[in-house]
Structure 1
């Protein structure tokens, strides 16, 4: 039976009441973590107990620490007595390269005071597999991985998963939406049956529910999405499609925003928008899957440290990017999924900071934004900017939202998702 927990008020617990060892308490104090977030105060004691967990929380809620801190404590309290080859003790699966790097960095940051040292590695595509294989000699205490690269390393016998005692699936809904179903099935088949499994997901579509049933044993359920009043302000501006870029440039220059994350639906749109903004006197950089990993890292680092003021990105930036006090997120184009809308705007207004999420919609997007509102249970006033008002009627050349011009989310191929391999069907509660 699944047990459900809910928190309707902000938790008043302190880190020293959650069961953490002195070394980790000292470290969170050094990092100026003063009060645990609700997801941390609920999940840390539960993870320390060793059972399975299903957790859902808003973006920016501090969920990485909610599983990283207790997992580090468990690994520290139960060290390996002898080296047994390239084994992995705790495996964290994530959908994007940037999220893998970010979570691994968090583990390393939290583990600095632990002795013996905890070995943390991240593996993902877009960079040399040989370098990662060398780093994994002797195994890893914590391995943060994207599914595709992990399977590449497993096929090369670089690591073994036979001794994994802790499994975390972070952003499980996003992994399934990006088509990782087959890869997950292959990985799960290689894991021991006896292990602690933690599944974190912002939303719980049918695919996630099937994964939950297949993976978790009498899990405790912690769902905290709606407990806190949001510090994120949402606005919608209507504008003619052919004036949308001009409005975006006008807003950036007029408001003097120090950091703006602009979302577009396709890689080509990002590139064209960068060129158009440059002609309008606005310098921007693009961030999408066609850029080499090194270039992606440099652009992201430049945006985080303030060297780049405007970043134009596809939905690969909707998850896994944690930027302190990011003031503005703009939807230049709407995402296909109402869930992805929430993840996009969740890059701002994190950890109690004020933020603005602005959507620029033209006539062909009105209906889809109505759907986003309905699915996410909010209603926003349609506003206009003087000099950029939308016509009362759609221009004759405005395409329909349902037309083929609508781009598929990055990461989704044109082919239909393949059926699960027969050998892995049982893992998903499906008959072969």
Structure 2
């Protein structure tokens, strides 16, 4: 690795001994001050890819030198926590500015701590810019993490205006797992010349298994309950809406599965508690909407379960990226019918990677279980085949009959009916003889 001794010492403490593809291929360009579009699947170390070279090239005392934009409060705090040990080793200070934080206290800390590296959500950053607490003219680098989420219609103009006020020699870094029209043509928004580092085609995610479990909507909760008994079960279960999540959560609250909730209407503390409880084994699963699929880092998560199938390829990619992080093994299980199976193959462009899986007892297997009992029409066809075969055998014997066969087919003589003469019962019938 090309990192300096301070950075390598922290990496060693974290038992990281090699760089990922996105880290090694983007390092030199970022270190030399180039603007970069970095595209890589989730869980491949993009935070360190842009963060560590920026930390190395930032000087202590360069107040507000690096601005990192994040799409959610949780991701901003997570990135701050990930980069803080490396920044501290270099004598740098970091600070997270999020909408859920106390605004007055954040202003005081900006003035008191004078952080060189600021990780912020979009709304809070521009709140501070409007108050003249953050000055674009001081920034040498602007990072858009999950750039396809940030560069949407409502925010492009604000971000573009911020970058226009930055020094001419400053660099823009756009990182994410998927691209958009803006990341394909970033020069039109920012004016900078960009280097593209796209390692998505170069990474074979063999450590993530894509599986499909055939189940009807009415049986999904029962199957989810059974899945929770699989060995080492820990999962994020995804829903397409808060309404769908809450409906299933209400049903599952009476089942054995222990779960937390990570949805749009959950506050910051509840969300952090759910993640912590899952990692500590206090709960088995987190129920989440797509808002939670962006950038959440849960170590050693075994399963991602699509209770509701994702509506786009981007959604599938980001959900899947919650497992199999940093080359760990993981499995994505999507639930639905045969029609859903065909649609998901096309939607996610998985091809033969998407395989059907079966829940046998409390075990998952790609081997098809024993054959099911034959359907009624199969039994009828079998019966008709047997009749045809018997008729053919009889026909063959009639052409060359044996003595036994002749006896078998010889019609039996009809029994002669015998008319019985029954005596009229005389008892209690009176006397019909001559009178004396």
SS at match of 1:204: coil
SS at match of 1:33: coil
Does the aligned pair in 2 maintain the 1:52–1:197 contact within 8 Å?
A: yes
Query: Mean Cα displacement is larger for which, 264-273 or 88-97?
Result: 264-273
Does the aligned pair in 1 maintain the 2:136–2:163 contact within 8 Å?
A: no
1:40: Cα distance to partner?
1.3
Does the aligned pair in 1 maintain the 2:275–2:298 contact within 8 Å?
A: no
**What pairs up with 1:99-248 in 2 under 5 angstroms?**
99-114=75-90, 117-138=91-112, 139-176=114-151, 180-215=155-190, 217-230=192-205, 231-248=207-224
Does the aligned pair in 1 maintain the 2:209–2:353 contact within 8 Å?
A: no
1:364: Cα distance to partner?
7.2
CA distance in 1, matches of 2:8, 2:357: 48
Does the aligned pair in 2 maintain the 1:257–1:328 contact within 8 Å?
A: no
1:329 aligns with 2:312: no
1:94 aligns with 2:77: no
Stretches of structure 2 lacking an aligned partner (at least 5 in a row): 362-368, 370-436
1:179: Cα distance to partner?
5.3
SS at match of 1:303: helix
1:288 aligns with 2:263: yes
User: Which of 326, 344, 355 is the matching residue for 1:381?
Assistant: 355
1:363: Cα distance to partner?
6.6
1:235: Cα distance to partner?
0.5
1:380: Cα distance to partner?
2.2
The residue that corresponds to 1:57 in the other structure is: 40
Normalising by structure 2, what TM-score?
0.76
Does the aligned pair in 2 maintain the 1:90–1:167 contact within 8 Å?
A: yes
Stretches of structure 1 lacking an aligned partner (at least 5 in a row): 1-14, 82-86, 390-432
CA distance in 2, matches of 1:210, 1:181: 13
Whose helix fraction is larger, Structure 1's or Structure 2's?
A: 2
The residue that corresponds to 2:398 in the other structure is: none
**CA offset digits 1:287-320 (Å, max 9, x no partner):** 0121112222222222233322210011122122
User: Which of 315, 324, 335 is the matching residue for 2:290?
Assistant: 315
Report which structure shows greater RCO (CA 8 Å, sep ≥6): 1
**CA offset digits 1:358-388 (Å, max 9, x no partner):** 00124774564243133x555523455469x
User: Which of 260, 263, 281 is the matching residue for 2:238?
Assistant: 263
**CA root-mean-square deviation:** 2.4
SS at match of 1:289: coil
1:359 aligns with 2:334: yes
Instruction: Please tell me whether Structure 1 or Structure 2 has the larger radius of gyration of its CA atoms.
Output: 2
SS at match of 2:105: helix
**CA offset digits 1:25-79 (Å, max 9, x no partner):** 2222232221111211112222111111111111111111111111111113xx4
1:91: Cα distance to partner?
0.5
SS at match of 2:178: coil
Aligned residue pairs total 360
**What pairs up with 1:73-92 in 2 under 5 angstroms?**
73-76=56-59, 79-80=60-61, 87-92=63-68
Normalising by structure 1, what TM-score?
0.77
